[in-house]
Chain A
Amino acid sequence: MPLWLLQVMGTNPASGVALPPRWGWYVILYFFVGGLAGGLMAIAAGLDLAGDRHDQEAVRLAHRLAFPLIILCAILLIVDLGRPHRFWHMVFMSERFPRLIFKPWSPISLGSWILTIYGAVAFVEFLGTLADPPGENIGDSLILSSPRATRVLHALQRRLVPVRERIRRWPSAVHSAWKIVAALSGFALAGYTGVLVAGTSNAVWHNARLMGALFLISGTSTAYALLTLLLVRRGRTAADSTLRKLGDGDLWAVAFELLVLAITLIALGPLGRPFWSGGFGVVFWIGVVGLGLLVPLARHWVSLGPGERAISRAAACVLVGGLLLRFVIVMSPQYPRVPLWHL
């Protein structure tokens, strides 16, 4: 067996008996929304680097959504803390403020910094979308429905447009470097949540070394799906080139996800039982594997209805599957013998 496969699968699984950290829906939703946000940033960077002018609507959509989503992530995480008002202890030393605390070997500490850096990148990109002419992007109608918000938006635009024009004149290498940083921050956000799961002493999570890869791929796949859904809602047809690009990208992502999930289950062996048996198993096989992976894959070969409708259905399945994947992975090893309706 190749060495890398042995490393992935492990030869002698560890047997920690950690108590359940009582992760619930706040954490599940954070993992899901974080994956979405991370994936959006990475896809936007990819479309910026390799796409064309026609893809810019998708880029602007991703950039408009990323910042609100990361704010939602922060809210979910803060609310989940036992002492929410102490959230800043994650980044600053509480006894020696303003000294910073950073433990790169701890996924949760590293994650706090990834969230901070991603938040900064997403904020810059969000400001960029505010410099666009109002009415084109998602959320514009909400802003324009309020006279006060409209006045604020116009005032912001007067300041932002000249700044953006100056930035556009910067060398293309700087732009490319920025996009690579943005993509890396997105992948880091989507992936670290899985590493956080593997970096515990719960025997099931701990031995799933591919969890980071799985979450990263799933997050990117859900981001492809969200962009696809939004573009279809905005009138793009099945023949649209951006939709085709996103569809091709997601086909790869779903195929990778299926592969990584299969290796994870094989590697875990009987340890993985909480994922695939009992009530959680029903959700796993029908929701995650069937709905979330096989149906979107099948769309490329079997008709799921006419054009855009089939694309939307498959995208919705990917989103539901991505959420259910996190539900099963987070909840089943904590409460393996608890019926779903008692959670």
Chain B
Amino acid sequence: MAKGFYTDTTVCIGCKACQTACHQWNELPAENGGRTELTGDSYDNTVRLSAVNWRHVKFIEQINEERSSPGLLQGSRWLMMSDVCKHCVRAGCLEVCPTGAIIRTEFDSVYIQQDACNGCRACVSACPFGVVDIGDDGKAHKCTLCYDRLQQGKEPACAQACPTESIRFGEVSELMQLAEARVAQLKDQNVDAYVYGKEDIVGGLNSFYILVDTPEVYGLPSKPELPSHNVDTAFELSGLAAAALAVTGLASFRKTRMDEMAAHADSDGTDD
């Protein structure tokens, strides 16, 4: 049975407990030697998922543009979302990895075997969600769904640390039922919520979200495709190009010879 995360962004309070727990359990190093560089982008100072940030809390400020008007917060909202590897049902990174370093575990999660990774970075460009990154050690890194904890019957550190149950861990099918019920509840409250990560998103995500705005607002793609989606077409078109070059090349090589032979025959005839 597939294990995964259900992240309800409507109850995320941006406390970053998940990020901290992930760092602590996985002994992830600090960035910039521990020096904090303020980005000026709300409360976000880690910017994105990376080789050392396997969880990343996004802060999206949607403030009414008419800031001088009374009731500034009317129509404004502050969205927060704890992002993580999606452990895709059909994972682009796993698909392209040429060394076999990326595997699917018995929990249906996607895991990078550090012993086998050679840092070719194919997985980095293959992930449509911008999750996989190369670390200073030259190898690819991302969330492991706390594979070591799962093997001990524990839940991932981030889910355990989340104080509002914005992040829940469990069987994906059960989590999806919970999510559907929550979406129905939110719709009753006139919140335009939906589940991001059903089968329409690259065959389904084992780590899915409840969102209340378009995916792009959260930095997620609305129409991701597997990296291999266009590969067959690209190869077929390359074959066509090769055929065109072969035909025109052979014709050029032979045509010139024919022209010369004709010219030679003409000059022989003239000489006679």
Tell me whether A87 is interfacial, beta carbon within 8 Å. yes
B130:A241 contact, CB within 8 angstroms: no
Residues in B with CB closer than 8 Å to A108 are 96, 98, 120, 122
Q: Which residues of A contact B228 (CB under 8 A)?
A: 105-106, 199
Interface centre among A93, A106, A202 (most CB of B within 10 A): A106
A107 vs B123: C-alpha distance in the bound complex, in angstroms? 12
Q: Is the CB of B234 within 8 A of A16?
A: no
A249 close to B (CB within 8 Å):
yes
B128 CB → nearest A CB, Å: 3
B117 interface neighbour in A50, A83, A252, Cβ under 8 Å: A83
Chain A residues near B240 (CB-CB < 8 A): 213
Tell me which of B2-10, B151-159, B163-171, B248-256 binds A. Answer: B248-256
| Cβ contact of B235, chosen from A7, A42, A195, cutoff 8 A | A195
Inter-subunit contact A19/B133 (CB<8 Å): yes
| Distance between Cα atoms of A8 and B240 in the complex (Å) | 12
Judge if A52 is at the interface, Cβ distance under 8 Å. yes
Q: Per-residue CB proximity of B106-147 to A under 8 Å, as 1/0?
A: 000000000111111110111111101110011110000000
**Contact of B225 with A by CB under 8 A:** yes
Write the nearest CB–CB distance from A131 to chain B, whole angstroms: 24
The answer to whether B118 and A87 touch across the interface, beta carbons within 8 angstroms, is yes
> B227 and A83: CB pair below 8 A?
no
Q: Which of A51, A89, A191, A206 contacts B225 (CB 8 A)?
A: A206
Q: How many Å from the CB of A183 to the closest CB on chain B?
A: 7
Shortest distance between the CB of B258 and any CB in chain A (Å): 10
Query: Do the beta carbons of B92 and A201 come within 8 Å of each other?
Result: yes
Nearest-neighbor residue (CB-CB) of B220 within chain A: A17
Query: Bound state CA distance, A266 and B57, in angstroms?
Result: 38
* Closest A residue to B48 using CB positions: A19
User: Is B256 a contact partner of A248 (Cβ separation < 8 A)?
Assistant: yes
- Which A residue's beta carbon lies closest to that of B93? A201
CB B197 to nearest CB in A, in angstroms, measures 15
Size of A's binding interface in residues, CB under 8 A = 79
Partner of A49, one of B132, B138, B237, B250: B250
Q: Are B122 and A209 in contact (CB under 8 A)?
A: no
Q: Per-position contact with B for A75-99: 1 when CB-CB < 8 Å, else 0? A: 0000001111011011001110000
Determine whether the beta carbon of A107 is less than 8 Å from that of B249: no
B230-A19 in contact (CB<8A): no
Q: A194-B238, A199-B234, A209-B234 are in contact. Are A249 and B227 (CB under 8 A)?
A: no
Complex interface: chain A residues within 8 A of B99 (CB): 86, 89-90, 94, 101
Chain A binding surface SS class: helix
In contact, A21 and B124 (Cβ under 8 angstroms): yes
Whether B118 contacts A90 by the Cβ 8 Å rule is yes
By a CB distance below 8 angstroms, the chain A residues around B139 are: 82-83
Given contacts A244-B256, A248-B252, contact A195 B234 (CB under 8 A): yes
Is B1's CB within 8 Å of the partner chain A?
A: no
Q: Name A256's contact: one of B116, B231, B244 (CB within 8 Å).
A: B244
Cβ of B98 to closest chain A Cβ, rounded Å: 4
Known: A14-B223, A83-B117, A200-B125. A106 touches B95 (CB 8 A): yes
Name the residue on A nearest B252 (C-beta).
Answer: A248
Q: Which listed residue, A82, A212, A244, touches B234 by the CB 8 Å rule? A: A212
Given known contacts A7-B233, A18-B128, A194-B238, A52 and B257 CB-to-CB distance under 8 angstroms: yes
Contact B241 A217 (CB under 8 A): yes
CB <8 Å contact, A95 and B249: no
Out of A15, A22, A244, which one reaches B121, CB within 8 Å? Answer: A22
Q: Known contacts A16-B129, A201-B224; can you find 4 more A-B pairs with CB under 8 A? A: A10-B230, A14-B128, A194-B238, A201-B227
Q: List 14 A-B contacts (CB under 8 A).
A: A15-B216, A17-B129, A17-B221, A49-B250, A94-B115, A95-B115, A101-B99, A105-B231, A108-B98, A187-B242, A195-B235, A206-B227, A211-B234, A249-B252
Interface, chain A (partner B; CB < 8 A): 7-8, 10, 12-23, 42-43, 46-47, 49-52, 55, 81-84, 86-87, 89-90, 93-95, 101, 103, 105-109, 112, 183-184, 187, 191-192, 194-195, 198-203, 205-207, 209-217, 220, 241, 244-245, 248-249, 251-253, 256, 260
